[in-house]
Structure 1
Amino acid sequence: MLIRFNAENFLSFNKRIEFSLIANKERRLPSHIIKGDGLNILKSGVIYGANASGKSNLVKAIDFSSQVITKGIENLSPVNCHFRLDKKNIKKPTIFNYEIKVNEKFYSYGFALKLDNNEIIEEWLYEIGRKKENKIFERIRNNEGKHDIEIGLQLSSKAKTRFEVYREDFKDANNLLFLSEMNRKSIDDFSELKVFKDVFNWFNKKLTVLFPKSKFSGLNFIGDDNEMSETFNSFLNVFKTGINNVTSEEIDLDNFDIPQKIKEDLTKNILKTKAIIFEINGITYSLKKNNQNEYKIKKIGLEHYTNDGQSVVFDIEDESDGTQRLFDFIPALHELKQTDSVFIIDELDRSLHSKLTYGIFELFLNATKENESQLIATTHESLLLDLELLRRDEIWFMEKQNNQSHLYSLDEFKVRNDKIVNKDYLLGRYGAIPIFKSFKNLKF
């Protein structure tokens, strides 16, 4: 689970901002809380704000920092990602820090880097508790420009010998994270080093970020996963999309009529993601490997019925933008229900009706009472500002002040639980709304 996230000197965040999912002491909606080691963690959060206030930048900060961990900064393009409205910031470090819960333990992990030359200058991992914190490792750059790793774990003699080799090899690794590098090493034989795998896998397997144009991979399971296919059909029926069934037609890659270069690129990419979705001439396809390591392509279709009961299959591109967006949310909701995942969705309400946006959050909260999944979203949908749906500490606002983004919670306003929050928000009582001059003097 995500407990807290901090970012500094990234996009519109000049000073340190903090997004926290630590619950307050109110007793309302107890099913929204996961309790553990004296710490109550919220299952959801929504972030409001005017256009260009920095909501999407919060999502981008989480996405960028998690990709630095899982993919490496050498595979990213962080040019001009620092806070650019202060010229001195180009030389200042950009800092990210996460507090997370993994396997009933709590960790603080973060790093500082210089975005002008992709250089990691600090990194740390601590196990944290109510009374004390235990250092797992800390990495700093010494006066000679070398990277020193200080380990806080109690290691066996064999593990210590192996670790010393890794530490020595890492002294000149200016653009690598030590956490990431340790996950490329042979450490499975040393149980005391398992924490490196656990923390890395949280970022690699538990955390998913969806932007408005993201394509989540749930479509890959249609046709060979009965549960997923039934889930799609059930959701589409509940949401009254007019789709009666999701179909798939399997095509052998060798018989697929596309240029050989495109085939090579597709199979090269699938090594990294196991399955991918792609479009050709407005038709959606899914490519994955079967158990025999054979590449198989599926053409995804949506079955509608005519007035006389005849079946007509449409391509996904023939459907409305809202229906297409549901094809990302349905597998996301399915995964949230089945696993302890964290989904962060930018512009949840984009192309969706207000009641449908409300229904997605309501469905998530009802369907995940037995697990530790979390759903965090940015939105403009004021219908979600309902204290019967969400707690005060689950509602956040982003506002620009002096060209910098500031993040704060509704909980700071100490509003009553019977308050009509969405009305007060639109009246500007909590800030984070658009403020513009009168249109009367606008000349065309």
Structure 2
Amino acid sequence: MLLEFIFKNSFSYKEEAYFSMEAVKGTSIRNEFDKIGKHRILKSAIIFGPNASGKSNMIKSLKSFRNLILKNDIQENPYPTYAGNEDPIFYQIVIYANNNIYRYSVSYLKEEILQESLEMEKNGDFEIYFQRKKMKYPILPDELKPLVNKTRKDNLFLITAKTFNDKPSLAVFRWFRNRLIFISRDTPPLLNQAYKIHKNIKEKEKLLNFLKAADLNITDFEVVENNSISFHITGGLDEILSLSKRSRGLKGYNMTIRHKAFDGVNDNGQFSLDLSAESDGTKKLIALAIILVSYNNSTILIDEFDDSFHVELSKAMIEVFNSNKQSNQFILTSHELALMDSGFKKEQIYFTEKADRSTTELYSVYDFKSEENRQDYSYVKRYQKGMFGAIPEILVGKLKESLEE
């Protein structure tokens, strides 16, 4: 699970940005997982803001951090600094993995790792496990010292250590690889997972019941193997290249969806559609249903969550995300203001705003002093009155004038 993400000089974020998935002391105990030590981890968060304000760039920053770790070569990885400057990028994350709390950070230039550290929480405080400053290691366990010479200046020591089966490094790496999932329009369908569900009677029934409850008129589905290669994607298209190097003989899959049909007299008929012919909303809901049935203890980020969804379906999905019926964590971006009043706590609602029309600021409702003692959830009206900022400044007159001859 994700507890905290701090990043700087990444995409539209020039200054340090802070994103937390921990409940705030004094707020109601809901929309949370079971307490882990002193930590109350939130089940979901949602980010609002004008177009081009940086909502997606928060997700892109975390995705860039993930790519850095999975590819382990900063020279082959995009270098998404603010406005293309040459200052270092900084990423820091706090996660819960393998029954431990880890804090991992890295600062790097296009051709060199400047700083890297891994810490583990013990008795409520973080203790440094290893620390790197360029090619020097001020803090390092004795068993990892032989690995220093095996790490180049443009490679992460975390990856060298995990390659030699260092348990803390492995735990962090595997969380990024297996537990951090990105969903967007260009995310390939999780057909390999759908195939496994299709073969499991109990899980298939669970998935079908979920889709039926969403009022899609879906009665059945079938997943069959074909001769093309399909990858086990947990992070989107960016993972295909890295996976293709180690994938041999994997099967591809086709998914067919069966719908209820009405012939004017009764609704006992059925018709079938290939998944590719389904609407974007249906494909997106199927992907989410597959995740909810197949995945546990994962962090799922969904950009433009409400895109292709009716607002009532979006609200229903948020209620599911925050329920104790599922064990995943969801981070969403949205333009649909009605979702602001969908039972979120104040620390679950974030905004993005261009501070000087170029750099992005990220903040939550909880950051406002006026909200400290408020326990009601009617945030939309206060947002529309400008109390939280992050409102687009649209010059309607200028838009019309631009169309004049």
Give me the TM-score of the superposition, normalised by structure 1. 0.79
Partner of 2:150: 169
User: What is residue 427 of structure 1 aligned with on the other side?
Assistant: 385
The 8 Å contact of residues 216 and 331 in structure 1, kept in 2 or not, is answered as: no
In 2: Cα distance, 1:296 partner to 1:214 partner: 18
Counterpart of 1:436, as a letter, is I
1:208 aligns with 2:181: yes
Distance 1:223 1:334 in 2: 12
The one-letter code sitting in structure 1 at the alignment partner of 2:345 is: R
1:103 aligns with 2:89: no
The question of 1:375 aligning with 2:330 is answered yes
Secondary structure of the residue that 2:318 maps to in structure 1? helix
Distance apart, 1:249 and its partner CA: 3.5
Shift of 1:226: 2.9
CA distance in 2 between counterparts of 1:54 and 1:114 reads 22
Are 2:268 and 1:312 aligned? no
- Specify the code of the residue in structure 2 equivalent to 1:35: K
Whole-angstrom CA distance in 1 between matches of 2:171 and 2:233: 20
Distance 1:166 1:215 in 2: 37
Change (3 A) 1:294 1:169: closer
User: Partner residue of 2:220?
Assistant: 245
| Correspondence for 1:344 | 301
Q: What is the CA–CA distance in structure 1 between the aligned matches of 2:160 and 2:394, rounded to whole Å?
A: 49
Structure-1 separation of matches of 2:78 and 2:225: 39
Q: How does 1:320-399 map to 2 (within 5 A)?
A: 320-336=279-295, 339-368=296-325, 371=327, 373-386=328-341, 389-399=343-353
SS state at 2:305 partner: coil
Residue 246 of structure 1: how far off its partner (Å): 0.9
Q: 1:33-72 alignment to 2 at 5 Å?
A: 33-72=33-72
Q: Measure, in 2, the Cα distance between the counterparts of 1:129 and 1:103.
A: 14
Report if the CA contact (8 A) 2:92-2:103 is conserved. yes
Rg comparison, structure with higher value: 1
8 Å Cα contact 2:188-2:233 kept in structure 1? no
| SS of aligned partner of 1:385 | helix
SS in 2 for 1:233: helix
Select the residue among 144, 156, 167 that pairs with 1:194.
Answer: 167
Instruction: Give the aligned residue type for 1:244.
Output: T
Using a 3 Å threshold, how does the CA distance of structure 1 residues 4 and 315 change in structure 2: closer, same or farther? same
CA–CA separation in structure 2 for the residues paired with 1:216 and 1:306: 25
SS where residue 351 of structure 1 aligns? coil
Q: Which amino acid aligns with 1:126?
A: E
Deviation at 1:311, TM superposition (A): 3.0
Contact 2:225 2:251 (C-alpha < 8 Å) held by counterparts? yes
CA gap of 1:379–1:130, structure 2 versus 1, over 3 A, is farther
Aligned to 1:183: 162
Distance 1:216 1:249 in 2: 14
Secondary structure of 1:96's match?
A: strand
Given that residues 34 and 43 in structure 1 are in contact (C-alpha distance below 8 angstroms), is that contact kept between their aligned partners in structure 2?
Answer: no
Q: Please list, as runs of the form range in 1=range in 2, the aligned pairs for 1:404-419 lying within 5 A after superposition.
A: 404-413=359-368, 414-415=370-371, 416-419=374-377
1:303 aligns with 2:258: yes
For residue 129 of structure 1, report the CA deviation from its aligned partner: 4.8
Once the two structures are overlaid, the 10-residue window that deviates more, 66-75 or 375-384, is 66-75
Q: Is the 8 A contact 2:5 2:92 kept in 1?
A: yes
Q: 1: distance between equivalents of 2:311 and 2:41?
A: 27
Secondary structure of the structure 1 residue equivalent to 2:83: coil
Does the 8 Å contact 1:219/1:327 carry over to 2?
A: no
The aligned amino acid for 2:98 is: N
Q: How many residue pairs are counted as aligned between the two chains?
A: 383
Equivalent position amino acid for 1:382 in 2: L
TM-aligned CA deviation for residue 222 of structure 1:
4.5
Normalised TM-score (structure 2): 0.86
Question: Per-residue deviation at 1:14?
Answer: 0.5
CA distance, structure 1, for counterparts of residue 199 and residue 156 of structure 2? 38
CA contact (8 A) 2:88 2:107 kept: yes
After TM superposition, the structure 1 stretch with the greater mean CA deviation from structure 2, 313-322 or 43-52, is 313-322
Conserved 8 A contact 2:89-2:108: yes
Q: The residue matched to 1:128 in structure 2 has which SS?
A: strand
Residue 69 of structure 1 deviates from its aligned partner by: 0.7
Cα distance per residue 1:408-439 (max 9 Å; x no partner): 11012343223521122233221112111133
Aligned to 2:401: 442
Match 1:126 to one of 116, 119, 130 = 119
CA contact (8 A) 2:38 2:124 kept: no
- Name the structure 2 match of 1:258: none
Write out per-residue CA displacement over residues 64-112 of structure 1, whole angstroms, 9 at most, x where no aligned residue. Answer: 1011112223585415x11117xxx31x111100011223322210111
**Distance of aligned partners of 1:307 and 1:21 in 2 relative to their CA distance in 1, 3 Å threshold:** closer
Give the secondary structure class of the aligned counterpart of 2:69.
helix
Of the candidates 169, 182, 207, which is equivalent to residue 232 of structure 1? 207
**Maintained 8 Å contact 1:222/1:247:** no
| Amino acid in structure 1 at the alignment position of 2:157 | F
| Ranges in structure 1 where 5+ consecutive residues have no aligned partner | 142-146, 188-192, 254-262, 278-292
Deviations 1:197-256 (Å, cap 9, x if unpaired)? Answer: 1121111111112223212524343432334422331122111112211123444x3xxx
Equivalent-residue separation in structure 1 for 2:397 and 2:348 (angstroms)? 35
Q: CA deviation at 1:333?
A: 2.1
SS in 2 for 1:363: helix
Q: After superposition, what is the alpha-carbon deviation per residue over 1:133-160, rounded to whole angstroms, capped at 9, x for unaligned? A: 311101112xxxxx1234444x5xxxx3
Structure 2 counterpart of 1:430, one-letter code: F
- Paired with 1:29 and 1:182, the residues of 2 have a C-alpha distance of 38
Assess if the C-alpha contact under 8 Å between 1:35 and 1:41 holds in 2.
yes
Identify if the C-alpha distance between structure 1 residues 245 and 431 changes in structure 2 by more than 3 Å, giving closer, same or farther: same
